[in-house]
């Protein structure tokens, strides 16, 4: 049996599965449930000093389903950060750490662009015994007028300054949670790491409009007939998340090798998690998946990850972390590699490959378009 335990920034976890910040970590009751079911760590729903300014609406979710099976594969939310008072959270942080002293509790925090606010929230939270922080620089909706969330994370200069304030007072590890709603995620990543963050979390949800109800002609989720763009998650975002995790992991590998990465985005199985770890993640976070399947899903994910590791002879997560990064290159290099490979093939093999797949745009045929497309695809 493989060893799923890991130590990340000095934080000892029984497995790499982390409850991502959101409804699954919204109070002490559900956080305790997550620990009881075996999650490696829990990140609470994002807290702020002034929760009275946070007012959620109902409904606040919209879901995209497969046309055939009706399985949910896309999920949009317009949910805000925690609407529970900061004082309540302070008490619950203490209660959780008293009850689960050996489990990892991470406080997700978000504040306005004021140094005194960030210093206060960090100092007061860490006095309760939380094990680490995740700085929410990435919520794609809600409170933009206060320059919070992705409004801050989209600006590397501001992000670096705020992270510096936090680094000056934090006594526990700090992760910065990246927004995907930028052109180059490497830029805010470098800013956070330069300022001293021990780790990066990525990605948060993707700014989206899920769809329009063709009966009412109103976009979803409809709140008294109106809506606002929200954050997209679930299986459908996994390829985008993998790409951005790969880009961040490459930055960490080449420039900040002592830092860590927590991968997020569409993870619902142990094999999903394996892909993120292969691309450089130390841990993986699940939020929407818990909302679909419940806290017990972690047990199945551990079994699936264990099976993957045993199949490949990996004893620890470190044995395969980042293994697949070496196989990324430029398109120009792909052309060169393929040309060399074709030169080495026999004439018969070369002809067989040419018959199977088109190589130039002039070879497409209308009558065989789907079959030609299939031949060029993997999976």
Do 49 and 167 lie in a common domain? yes
3 state DSSP class of 226: strand
Do 372 and 237 lie in a common domain? no
Contact 110, 81 (CB under 8 A): yes
Question: Cα–Cα distance between 237 and 203 in angstroms, integer?
Answer: 9
Looking at residue 352, what is its pLDDT? Answer: 58
Question: Is pLDDT above 90 for 148?
Answer: no
Question: Cα–Cα distance between 42 and 149 in angstroms, integer?
Answer: 20
Looking at residue 347, what is its pLDDT? Answer: 62
In the structure, what pLDDT confidence band is assigned to residue 379 with cuts at 50, 70 and 90? low
Q: Which of 36, 39, 43 is nearest to 14 (CA)?
A: 39
Q: Which of 201, 208, 147 is nearest to 179 (CA)?
A: 201
Residue 135 phi/psi, 5° resolution?
-85, 120
Do 171 and 46 lie in a common domain? yes
Evaluate whether residue 206 is within a structural domain. Answer: yes
Q: Average per-residue pLDDT in the chain?
A: 94
Domain membership of residue 345 as a residue range: 329-376
Looking at residue 222, what is its pLDDT? Answer: 97
* Residues forming a β-bridge with 11: 8
Task: Please state the domain count of the chain.
Answer: 2
Do 276 and 140 lie in a common domain? yes
Do 134 and 35 lie in a common domain? yes
Average of per-residue pLDDT across 18-24: 97
Question: Cα–Cα distance between 45 and 22 in angstroms, integer?
Answer: 4
Do 221 and 370 lie in a common domain? no
Do 138 and 40 lie in a common domain? yes
Contact 7, 13 (CB under 8 A): yes
Looking at residue 144, what is its pLDDT? Answer: 61
For 177, residues 6+ apart whose C-beta sits below 8 A from its C-beta are 21, 108, 134, 135, 136, 137, 138, 153, 200, 201, 202, 204
What percent of the chain has a predicted confidence (pLDDT) above 70? Answer: 96
Looking at residue 140, what is its pLDDT? Answer: 81
Do 367 and 252 lie in a common domain? no
Looking at residue 142, what is its pLDDT? Answer: 59
Q: Which residues are catalytic?
A: 139
Average of per-residue pLDDT across 295-318: 98
> pTM to 2 decimals?
0.94
Cα-based angle 54, 59, 63 (whole degrees, multiple of 5): 120
Do 165 and 224 lie in a common domain? yes
Label residues 316-325 b or e (16+ Cβ within 10 Å = b). ebeebbbebe
Average of per-residue pLDDT across 56-66: 96
pLDDT tens-digit readout, 267-301: 999 999 999 999 999 999 999 999 999 999 999 99
Provide the CATH number for the domain around residue 292.
Answer: 3.20.20.70
Do 215 and 352 lie in a common domain? no
CA distances from 135 to 66, 108, 132, 152, 156 (A): 34, 6, 10, 11, 14
Looking at residue 368, what is its pLDDT? Answer: 86
Evaluate whether residue 1 is within a structural domain. Answer: no
Question: Is pLDDT above 70 for 244?
Answer: yes
Do 289 and 337 lie in a common domain? no
Do 89 and 19 lie in a common domain? yes
Q: Which of 12, 22, 19 is nearest to 37 (CA)?
A: 19
Question: Cα–Cα distance between 101 and 94 in angstroms, integer?
Answer: 10
Question: Is pLDDT above 70 for 355?
Answer: no
């Amino acid at each position: 049996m493989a060893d799923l335990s890991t130590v990340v920034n000095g934080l000892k976890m029984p497995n790499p599965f982390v409850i991502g910040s959101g409804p699954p970590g919204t109070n002490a009751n559900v956080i305790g449930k997550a620990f009881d079911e075996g999650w490696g760590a829990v990140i609470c729903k994002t807290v702020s000093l002034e929760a009275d300014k946070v007012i959620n609406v109902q409904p606040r979710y919209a879901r995209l389903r497969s046309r055939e099976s009706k399985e949910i594969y896309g999920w949009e939310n317009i949910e805000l950060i925690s609407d529970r008072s900061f004082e309540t959270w302070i008490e619950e942080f203490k209660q959780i750490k008293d009850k689960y002293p050996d489990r990892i509790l991470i406080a997700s925090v978000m504040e306005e662009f004021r140094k005194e606010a960030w210093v206060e929230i960090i100092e007061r939270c860490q006095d309760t015994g939380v094990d680490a922080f995740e700085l929410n620089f990435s919520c794609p909706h809600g409170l933009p007028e206060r320059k919070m969330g992705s409004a801050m994370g989209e600006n590397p200069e501001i992000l670096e300054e705020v992270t510096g304030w936090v680094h000056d007072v934090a006594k526990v590890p700090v992760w910065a949670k990246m927004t995907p709603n930028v052109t180059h995620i490497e830029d805010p990543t470098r800013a956070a790491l330069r300022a001293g963050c021990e780790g990066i979390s990525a990605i948060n949800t993707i700014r989206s409009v899920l769809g329009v109800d063709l009966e009412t002609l109103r976009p979803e989720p409809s709140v008294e007939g109106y809506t606002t763009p929200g954050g997209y998650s679930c299986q459908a975002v996994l390829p985008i998340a993998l790409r951005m995790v790969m880009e961040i992991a490459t930055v960490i590998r080449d420039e900040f090798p002592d830092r860590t990465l927590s991968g997020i985005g569409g993870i619902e199985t142990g094999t999903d998690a394996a892909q993120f770890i292969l691309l450089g993640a130390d841990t993986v976070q699940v939020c929407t998946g818990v909302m679909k399947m419940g806290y017990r899903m972690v047990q199945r994910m551990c079994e699936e990850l264990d099976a993957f590791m045993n199949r490949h002879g990996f004893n620890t997560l470190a044995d395969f972390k980042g293994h697949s990064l070496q196989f990324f290159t430029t398109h120009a290099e792909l052309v060169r590699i393929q040309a060399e490979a074709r030169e080495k093939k026999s004439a018969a093999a070369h002809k067989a490959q040419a018959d199977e797949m088109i190589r130039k745009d002039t070879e497409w045929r209308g009558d065989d378009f789907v079959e030609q497309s299939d031949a060029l695809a993997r999976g």
